[in-house]
Structure 1
Amino acid sequence: MSAAPRTDPVATRMAGLVAPVVEAAGYDLEELVVTPAGRRSIVRVVVDRDAGVTLDDVAEVSRAVSTALDEHDGEFGSAPYVLEVTSPGVDRPLTEPRHWRRNTGRLVTVAVGREGSSEQVTARVLEVDGDGVTLAVEAKGKPGAKKRPPTRRQVPWQELGAGRVQVEFGRPEAGGDSEQHDQPDPAEDDDDGGGQ
């Protein structure tokens, strides 16, 4: 059972200090949450960028944020804290244009349409621009029935709900041939001890 996140003035001031440090390192601050945990607090900083976030990136941002917080130590109270820097998980809702752009090619579920008359669709994100998102909407059908090809649909931002990325196993390659996995891999030579 976890404690409820704090959205108090301390967390707000901390976000004001951390955001410029994260942005200077070339990342977007997606979320900063301060959660009480006994005598300590957990400061969770979620960062992202278009190129994605690696473990080295997390370490770099963690050092920069830690240094900034240490320099302003007295401003956030005397309780010790644990700093967690992470990237967003696939369960993060897609709410900002940058979230959609970073998930181009992924399968999502999203409510589309005007308020009061929206429908839930499963679609692949094809393109993202200033007007909205272009989706390849999968046709609904009965289980076991032959799948119809997806329908291309341009959805303006004001008609787009929060999307959720769907986890796919064996995700299709863009323009790739799904039969390629049957081809022998030249790197997988039999190791029979024979030389050439």
Structure 2
Amino acid sequence: MAFPTHDEIEQCVSPTVSSYGMDVEYVRVHRAGKKSVVAIAVGADTAPGSDDLEALSRELSQLLDDKEEAGEMNFGPGYTLEVTTPGVDFPLTLPRHWRRHRYRAVRIEEEGRTSTWRIGDLKEEDGQARVVLVSREKKPSIRMMEVAPSRPGVVEIEFAHIPEAERELCALSFDDAEERQGHDK
């Protein structure tokens, strides 16, 4: 039996990850000498704590060991399992990524230009997702953007408090922000 693919590992572990209220963000496998490292990054609406990650890691390790023992997967001479969160530089490509980072500053590249915005509310309907973005200029303004993997955002690290004007605009519901955007034109 061949070494399992990323997709096979993800399909195997997803039900267990979901039972913890989390999503599999990515699976990466790389060789580390004779053994392999299987890295599984998980995310949730509320950031998982170290105790949650440790419990999930133990359960996934047992699951993968059981699959290998049953002959359903083969990790070769052995593997090391790493269960982690994606990290701050993980690109925001799916609606859940944007929703989980509300109020955070995000860098977006469009048409060769980079701009920084603050994430507001998200609306998902008909397979489409749009996010409210608040400019970080002296007079904050609202913009709506479709969420698409082709237009990822990357969270910016901030050490200062969010300016109150930006916070107020980000706190608006999607519909209220859309109405306000119409009035500001």
* TM bracket (short chain): 0.7 to 0.9
- Local SS of the residue matching 1:76: coil
Deviation at 1:128, TM superposition (A): 1.1
Task: Tell me whether 1:121 sits opposite 2:108 in the alignment.
Answer: no
Contact in 1 for aligned 2:4/2:74 (Cα 8 Å): no
Q: Which aligned segments of 4 or more residues in structure 1 are displaced greater than 6 angstroms?
A: none
**TM-score between the two structures when normalised by the length of structure 1:** 0.72
- CA 1:42–1:174: 2 relative to 1, 3 Å: farther
Any unmatched runs of 5+ in structure 2?
A: 166-185
Cα–Cα, structure 1 residues 102 and 173, in superposed 2: closer, same or farther, change >3 Å?
A: farther
Query: 1:17 matched to which residue of 2?
Result: 12
One-letter code aligned to 2:159: F
Offset, 1:158:
5.2
Specify the alignment match of 1:150 in structure 2: 140
2: distance between equivalents of 1:47 and 1:166? 20
**Is 2:51 aligned against 1:49?**
no
Structure number with the higher strand fraction is 2
| Paired-residue identity, % | 33
User: Could you say which structure has the larger radius of gyration?
Assistant: 1
Distance 1:100 1:37 in 2: 33
Q: Over aligned residue pairs, what C-alpha RMSD do you find? A: 2.3
Query: What does 1:1-196 correspond to in 2, within 5 Å?
Result: 9-73=4-68, 74=71, 75-112=73-110, 117=111, 119-130=113-124, 131-139=129-137, 148-157=138-147, 161-172=151-162
1:12-60 CA-partner distances (Å, limit 9, x unpaired): 3222211121112221000111111111100101001001111011111
1:65 and 1:23 map into 2 onto residues whose CA distance is: 12
* Structure 1: gaps of 5 or more residues: 1-7, 140-147, 176-196
| Contact 1:107 1:125 survives alignment (8 Å) | yes
2:98 alignment partner, SS class: helix
149-158 vs 47-56, which moves further: 149-158
The higher-RCO structure (CA 8 Å, 6+ apart) is 2
Give the C-alpha shift of residue 166 in structure 1: 0.4
In 2: Cα distance, 1:126 partner to 1:99 partner: 12
| Richer in helix (by share) | 2
